[in-house]
């Protein structure tokens, strides 16, 4: 009798063990899900227009609270990270940006985890943080 050692969602989601690339993978998934939730909410929000101006205005007021501002700032951050990292992934997944395959020498440094890739991840995180700060600045009129 054998027992399957499949790690499941817990293992998939654990971002801590395999470097920044795994963190980016995890953030990409989370932000993707977050944006999906936002998209559904956004459709619901804009559909209130059908009930007239008053309904639309009361819906907008929801975003003028502290929770609403935090939520919108998160949406901005998710959008920017997902876009930046998404562009990196589109380029990498088409096979670009790794250099050429070559005979590996010890200690092996994988080309797929090269500095260019890492830098793109850090830049995406940095841009997301900046955009969130800018968004909060606009929302709080700073």
Partner 1 sequence: MAAIFPVSSQEKHEKTKPSTKSITLRISKFNPGKDHATTFLEFPVSYEKWTTVLDAILEVKNYHDHSIGVRYSCRQAMCGSCGMIINGKPKLACFTKISELDSDVVTVEPMNNFPLIRDLVVGFERMFSTHKRIKPYIIREDSEISSGAKEFLQTPEDVEKYIQFSGCIKCGLCNSACPTMAVDSTFIGPQGLAQAYRYIADNRDQGKDERLRIIDERHGIWGCHFAGSCSQVCPKGVDPAMGIQLLRGYLLGYRK
**Three-class DSSP category at 70:** helix
Task: Give the separation between CA 60 and CA 127, rounded to whole angstroms.
Answer: 27
**Three-class DSSP category at 104:** coil
51 binds partner 1 per the rule CB under 8 A: no
Q: Applying CB under 8 A, which of residues 43, 50, 52, 100 lies at the interface with partner 1?
A: 100
* Burial of 75: CB neighbours in 10 Å, binned 0-12, 13-18, 19+: buried
Q: 9-28 mask for partner 1 (x: CB under 8 A)?
A: x-xxx---xxx-xx-xx--x
Inter-residue contact 12 to 114 (CB < 8 Å) = no
Q: Applying CB under 8 A, which of residues 66, 108, 115, 142 lies at the interface with partner 1?
A: 108
Task: Give the separation between CA 49 and CA 140, rounded to whole angstroms.
Answer: 26
Q: How far apart are the first and last CA of the chain?
A: 65
> Which range binds partner 1 by CB under 8 A, 40-48, 62-70, 100-108, 131-139?
100-108
CB of 26 to partner 1, least distance (A): 8
Longest dimension (CA), the chain: 68
CB of 34 to partner 1, least distance (A): 17
CB of 130 to partner 1, least distance (A): 25
Read off the tokens for 2. 């054998």
Total number of residues binding partner 1 (CB under 8 A)? 42
101 binds partner 1 per the rule CB under 8 A: yes
- Residues at the contact surface with partner 1, assessed by CB under 8 A: 1-9, 11-13, 17-19, 21-22, 24-25, 28-29, 89, 92-96, 98, 100-106, 108-113, 117
């Amino acid at each position: 009798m054998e027992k399957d050692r499949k790690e499941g969602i817990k293992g998939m989601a654990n971002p801590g063990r395999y470097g920044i690339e795994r963190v980016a993978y995890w953030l990409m998934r989370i932000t993707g899900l977050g944006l999906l939730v936002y998209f559904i909410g956004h459709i619901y929000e804009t559909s209130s227009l059908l009930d007239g101006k008053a309904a639309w205005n009361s819906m907008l007021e929801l975003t003028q609270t502290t929770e609403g501002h935090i939520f919108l700032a998160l949406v901005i951050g998710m959008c920017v990270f997902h876009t930046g990292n998404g562009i990196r992934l589109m380029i990498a997944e088409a096979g670009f940006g790794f250099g050429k395959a070559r005979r590996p020498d010890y200690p092996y440094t994988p080309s797929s985890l090269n500095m260019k890739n890492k830098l793109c991840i850090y830049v995406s995180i940095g841009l997301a943080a900046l955009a969130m700060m800018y968004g909060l600045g606009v929302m709080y009129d700073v």
